[in-house]
Amino acid sequence: MIGRITAMLLRYLYLYRRSAARVMGVVFWPVMDLLVWGFVTSYLEKAAVPPPVLFLLGAVIFWDVFYSSAQAITLSITEDIWGRNILNVFVSPIRVSELMVATSALGCLRALTSAALLSVLAALFYGFRIASLGLALAPFLASLLLFGWAVGMMTTALILRYGQAAEALIWGVPFLIQPLSAAFYPVAVLPAWLRPVALAIPATHVFEGMREVLAGGAFPAGRLAAAFALNAVYIAAAAAFFGWMLGRVREKGYLARLGLE
């Protein structure tokens, strides 16, 4: 089992080693995002907006963790569809669960690499220290990774079923979640009818918790408990959806057509 997971992880890492586009995804775009929000933060501080506005930088770093985690899963599978390699993978003895673990591990590596880089730059350029989140930092990151895996699994299931027609979801789904997860503003800013929807998203509790800690609040145990409980539901639902969809895809004969469209 470990051998097959390592094989697929290696396959994706080989790609990152020589693909400028993939490295840009880990380094360039997140850094550009950080710079934009860093300057916005500097401007707001100079304009005497009441502190703390530094949470915007934390939000950028945290958002990237979720986004990278989800995208690594969907992009990895899609890469094999584009390259007409997906059938080679599906006729090998790998279990679908092993493939998901490999892509999730890649997501974890990608997200943490990116987060480490952004954290260093945020400290150097804007004086924002992610370590100021203290003990809550690790569970915050873990929660975002888990939510990214759930979203990645669901999106991949749709790509397996609908093929190229669903590929826009790789980039679309995270940005559908962004306004609802209150990454850059408190949930209270949302219209009242939208708040229950926002609170049903695990990432919302992470972003809210982060703002509370940065504002000097205590360890956000309640927020983290809510985030992990919701993640458990989302991961279970995503795995069930993925399994059901894969069965349908086999039944309908769509799997064999992947990459040949």
- Among 108, 101, 199, smallest CA distance to 153 is for 101
Task: Tell me whether residue 163 or residue 209 sits nearer to another protein (CB atom).
Answer: 163
Q: Is 24 in the site for another protein (CB under 8 A)?
A: no
Range in contact with another protein (rule: CB under 8 A) among 2-10, 182-190, 216-224, 228-236:
2-10
Q: Is 49 in the site for another protein (CB under 8 A)?
A: no
Footprint of another protein on 74-113 (CB under 8 A): 79-80, 83-85, 87-95
Contact criterion met (CB below 8 Å) for 195 and 187: yes
Contact criterion met (CB below 8 Å) for 202 and 227: yes
Q: How many residues bind another protein (CB under 8 A)?
A: 33
Tokens of 115: 């987060």
Q: How far is the CB of 124 from another protein (least distance, A)?
A: 33
Q: Is 46 in the site for another protein (CB under 8 A)?
A: no
Q: Is 243 in the site for another protein (CB under 8 A)?
A: no
Q: How far is the CB of 88 from another protein (least distance, A)?
A: 6
> How far is 174 from 177, CA to CA, in rounded Å?
5
Q: Is 256 in the site for another protein (CB under 8 A)?
A: yes
List the Cα angle 26/27/29 in 5-degree steps. 90
Range in contact with another protein (rule: CB under 8 A) among 13-21, 44-52, 107-115, 157-165:
13-21
Residues contacting 243, CB < 8 A, separation 6+: 96
- Among 109, 85, 107, 30, smallest CA distance to 62 is for 30
> How far is 203 from 226, CA to CA, in rounded Å?
10
* Torsion sign across C-alpha atoms 216, 221, 226, 228: positive
Q: Is 10 in the site for another protein (CB under 8 A)?
A: yes
Among 35, 142, 235, 255, binds another protein (CB under 8 A): 255
Q: Is 253 in the site for another protein (CB under 8 A)?
A: yes
Residues forming contacts to another protein in the complex (CB under 8 A) are 3-4, 6-8, 10-11, 14-15, 18-19, 79-80, 83-85, 87-95, 250-253, 255-256, 259-260
